[in-house]
Amino acid sequence: MKYTKKLKGVLACFLFAICAITIMSCGKKDSTQKDSSSETSENKKLVTVGYVQSGTGSAWSLANVESIQQNCTEENGINLIYECADDSFDKQLSIVNSFIEQKVDLISFTPIVSDGWEDTLKKAKEAGIPVIIMDRMVETSDDTLFNCWIGSNFLLEGYKAADWLIEYMKSLNLKKDQFNVALFLGVVGSSAEVGRTQGVEEMLNTAGNFKFVYKDTGNFNRDGGIENMKKILKKKLDIDILIAENDDMALGAIQVMEENGIKPGKDIVIVSFDGIHDAFQAMVDGKINCVMECNPLTGKLLASAVQTVMNGDPISKKNYVLEEIFPADTAADYIDNRKY
Ligand code: GYE
């Protein structure tokens, strides 16, 4: 079938890209790099990294922050200046600009949205400050404006989740010609939202028997899930499936379903993204049917990329992390070993 062919194509590209995960060589020394300014008590030079997280409204982002703080340490040669933009793009821009003014050695950030970074990245380049983008991606006309990116293949996540859903709905053998789908989007314009939405929509539209009857953003947080589910009930929409672009929104929706006598995972099939511990628990309890993992444990990769870039060693532009899909019947085997 067309969507399976498409998935295979994307999977092939993905596997190819995965070869780059160890952050390997492919460029030449960057003359803009300079010596670090901070020093430890033993006089070991530290690299001062200004890092700004998008927000901490999801369990995923909390795990991401923890991973970055645990790995970008003095022992690993890094003096980390950590900031959080609280999901405000303007705040994030101004923090990155202040890092440039402070003349940090390297800037890293998780862009809230993809657009609007060009001028700031140009300024960083002119100031000779290398940039490592984490998790979500920026949209630029010139990819020399950043040194590398480390994150997830969001489009592939969308394809994989939708592929699982199509097969699962077939296996239920329901006497229905069409399944009504509600889609809760993440932060609109973030590459996590754009990729997942595209992947899910393309594949379900190609399958033919899925109809999107509701689509709105829940901003990747629990309140967003609660509000959207309430709207669905108020509009009396009859949905068979909820796809939530992160676990927190799914968990918010589950709360509302249960308050209204709806059995999540049974009356409504639920698929979500991330793979936080609470979502695994919800799968064990039969309330979420499948989770497409998104890996937030990228701090170690960032710490090593910082050293590679500061040494002027070549580095791959895009570095993908590995992620798996977890149908509910596998959750009990994995729940105790989940790290976030
Ligand atoms: O899925 C969501 C978070 O950008 C991949 O952002 C990340 C997403 C993640 O808030 O939970």
Tell me, using a 6 A CB cutoff, whether residue 112 lines ligand 1: no
Q: How far is the CA of 298 from the centre of ligand 1 (A)?
A: 13
- In angstroms, the Cα distances linking 100 to 43, 49, 298 are 25, 11, 24
Tell me, using a 6 A CB cutoff, whether residue 274 lines ligand 1: yes
Residue with CA nearest ligand 1 atom 8: 192
Q: How far is the CA of 42 from the centre of ligand 1 (A)?
A: 38
Residues 6+ away with beta carbon under 8 Å from 145: 117, 118, 121, 122, 124, 125, 131, 138
- What's residue 230's pLDDT? 98
Instruction: Give the nearest ligand 1 atom to 55 CA.
Output: 10
- What's residue 300's pLDDT? 98
The candidate with the shortest Cα–Cα distance to 309, out of 40, 107, 38, is 107
- What's residue 32's pLDDT? 39
Question: What residues in the chain have per-residue pLDDT under 70?
Answer: 1-44
Residue with CA nearest ligand 1 atom 5: 192
Tell me, using a 6 A CB cutoff, whether residue 221 lines ligand 1: no
Residues 6+ away with beta carbon under 8 Å from 13: none
Tell me, using a 6 A CB cutoff, whether residue 196 lines ligand 1: no
Beta strand extents in 10-161 (DSSP E only)? 38-39, 45-53, 78-84, 106-109, 131-134, 148-151
Instruction: Give the nearest ligand 1 atom to 274 CA.
Output: 1
Q: Which residues pair with 243 in a beta bridge?
A: 183, 271
- What's residue 21's pLDDT? 43
Return the amino acid letter for 216: D
Q: How far is the CA of 312 from the centre of ligand 1 (A)?
A: 30
- What's residue 43's pLDDT? 56
- What's residue 33's pLDDT? 42
